[in-house]
């Protein structure tokens, strides 16, 4: 029991609960199944991006290019359907995922083979990926796809089940929540039960030791960035289907929201620490904050300030606890 309370997840779980109670006291319609399903539908893509960002962070890297990968995956996925006339969501998902893997591999190439620091690499590829897409679109005189194929629209509307309430309103659970849950569980299993997953965590804890123990660091890095790229591509397509509006200028610029969620969830910027469950709670808190602040008519710039404050405060708390821990483990034998 004491061990459980030592864990960061418990604290942020209670923060989330407290937040829900406070907001519900302002706005009764917040704590309803309908709102919960709505939030899940609209923000699952953020959850998937957060899981990807967390994985990179755990391995000791930082990846800020994920929004660009998502946008590129989204656009090419939808554009393929238009170009080929194949109106099939699975083809779009496949293409978006493959584009994500490819772009992730480019990241891994720079990081693993040319040994360029992860932040520098992905800051570069963030611009390069989106810029590349934009210049292609400009050259071919295309812009926003405001009328995506029906399969994309239907994907956004697809519900696992519907409930009709006594009042006659319809509550739907979108498939998006399931995709999010799928990636969360898959990543958790990889991290917990595979040697690859443990190696990722170990590498984030002590890179030098991993090297000496004979880990194939290059292979691990290719896996991480390709897998994260794949998730970003899928998340991008989900985002586009939800909006039914494929805008290549979307998403990029929202990296900080995701980063805030992951850091709030207890992952360390220095690598090696954090959990999937923490990340999920982190995303939930950020989502709740973002949407409820709108509800409460808080100006948008103030929201931005709140997100920034959350990053700084949660990093400080983690750092402070580390410092306290260091002090506790010091040998002192004084009466």
Partner 1 sequence: MNEEIISVKNISKRFGAVQALDNVDLVINKGEIHCLVGENGSGKSTLIKIISGVESPDSGDISINGKLYKKLNAIDSMREGIQVIYQDLALFPNLSVGENISLNQRIEKKEKFINWREVRDIAEKELKSIGKAINPDDLVEDLSVANRQIVAICRALTHEAKLIIMDEPTTALTKNEVENLFKIILDLKAQGISVLFISHKLSEVFIISDKIAILRDGKKVGDFKAEELDNEKLVFYMTGKKLVATKFKCEIKQDSGKPLLELKNFTKKGNFLDINLKLYSGEILGIIGLLGSGRSELATAIFGLNKPDSGELFIDGEKVVIDNPGEAIEYGICYLPEDRLSEGLFIEKEIEENLSVIILKNYIKSGLIQRKKLRTDIEKLSKDLNIKTPSLELPVQSLSGGNQQKVVVAKWIAANPKIFILDGPTVGIDVGSKSDIHQIIRNLANKGIGIIIISDEIPEALQNSNRILVMRHGRIVKELESDCITEEELNKIVIESIPKQPEKVSI
Q: Give residues in contact with partner 1 (CB under 8 A).
A: 192-199, 201-202, 204-206, 208-210, 212-215, 272-273, 325, 328-329, 331-335
| Closer to partner 1 by Cβ: residue 204 or 248 | 204
Minimum distance from CB of 186 to partner 1 (Å)?
14
| Closer to partner 1 by Cβ: residue 143 or 322 | 322
Contact between 270 and 294 under an 8 Å Cβ cutoff? The reply is no
Task: Determine the Cα–Cα distance for residues 104 and 231; give it in Å rounded to an integer.
Answer: 10
| Closer to partner 1 by Cβ: residue 229 or 272 | 272
Q: What torsion, rounded to 10 degrees, do the Cα atoms 152, 153, 159, 162 define?
A: -170
Minimum distance from CB of 224 to partner 1 (Å)?
16
Element (H, E) at 161: strand 159-164
| Closer to partner 1 by Cβ: residue 83 or 331 | 331
| Closer to partner 1 by Cβ: residue 166 or 334 | 334
Pair of tokens at residue 156: 């956004």
Minimum distance from CB of 166 to partner 1 (Å)?
48
Minimum distance from CB of 273 to partner 1 (Å)?
6
Task: Determine the Cα–Cα distance for residues 290 and 286; give it in Å rounded to an integer.
Answer: 6
Task: Determine the Cα–Cα distance for residues 178 and 296; give it in Å rounded to an integer.
Answer: 29
| Closer to partner 1 by Cβ: residue 10 or 18 | 10
Task: Determine the Cα–Cα distance for residues 169 and 167; give it in Å rounded to an integer.
Answer: 6
| Closer to partner 1 by Cβ: residue 164 or 331 | 331
Minimum distance from CB of 271 to partner 1 (Å)?
9
| Closer to partner 1 by Cβ: residue 1 or 331 | 331
Half-sphere exposure of 61 (CA within 13 A, CB side): 31
Rg (CA), the chain: 21
Task: Determine the Cα–Cα distance for residues 126 and 3; give it in Å rounded to an integer.
Answer: 40
Minimum distance from CB of 111 to partner 1 (Å)?
21
According to DSSP, the residues that pair with 164 across neighbouring strands are 170
- 247 burial (CB, 10 Å; 0-12 / 13-18 / 19+) is middle
- Give Cβ neighbours of residue 263 (< 8 Å, ≥ 6 apart): 269, 282, 310, 311, 314, 315, 318
């Amino acid at each position: 029991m004491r061990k459980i309370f030592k864990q960061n997840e418990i604290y942020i779980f209670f923060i989330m609960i407290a937040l829900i109670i406070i907001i519900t006291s302002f706005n009764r319609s917040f704590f309803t199944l309908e709102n919960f399903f709505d939030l899940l539908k609209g923000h699952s893509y953020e959850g998937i991006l957060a899981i990807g960002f967390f994985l990179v962070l755990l391995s000791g890297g930082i990846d800020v290019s994920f929004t660009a990968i998502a946008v590129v995956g989204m656009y090419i996925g939808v554009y393929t359907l238009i170009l080929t006339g194949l109106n099939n969501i699975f083809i779009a998902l496949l293409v978006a995922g493959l584009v994500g893997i490819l772009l992730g591999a480019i990241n891994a190439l720079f990081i693993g083979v040319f040994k360029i620091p992860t932040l520098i690499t992905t800051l570069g590829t963030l611009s390069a990926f989106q810029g590349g897409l934009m210049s292609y679109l400009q050259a071919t005189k295309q812009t926003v796809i405001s009328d995506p194929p029906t399969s994309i629209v239907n994907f956004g509307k697809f519900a696992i089940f519907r409930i009709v309430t006594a009042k006659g309103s319809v509550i739907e659970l979108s498939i998006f929540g399931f995709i999010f849950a799928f990636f969360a569980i898959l990543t958790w299993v990889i991290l917990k039960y595979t040697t690859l997953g443990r190696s990722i965590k170990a590498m984030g804890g002590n890179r030098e030791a991993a090297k000496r123990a004979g880990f194939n660091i290059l292979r691990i890095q290719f896996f991480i960035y390709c897998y994260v790229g794949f998730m970003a591509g899928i998340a991008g397509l989900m985002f586009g289907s939800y909006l039914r509006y494929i805008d290549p200028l979307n998403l990029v610029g929202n990296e900080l929201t995701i980063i805030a969620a992951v850091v709030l969830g207890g992952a360390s910027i220095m690598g090696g620490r954090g959990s999937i469950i923490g990340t999920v709670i982190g995303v939930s808190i950020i989502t709740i904050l973002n949407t409820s602040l709108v509800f409460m008519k808080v100006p948008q710039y103030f929201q931005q300030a709140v997100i920034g404050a959350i990053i700084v405060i949660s990093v400080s708390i983690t750092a402070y606890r580390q410092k306290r821990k260091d002090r506790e483990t010091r040998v002192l034998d004084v009466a």
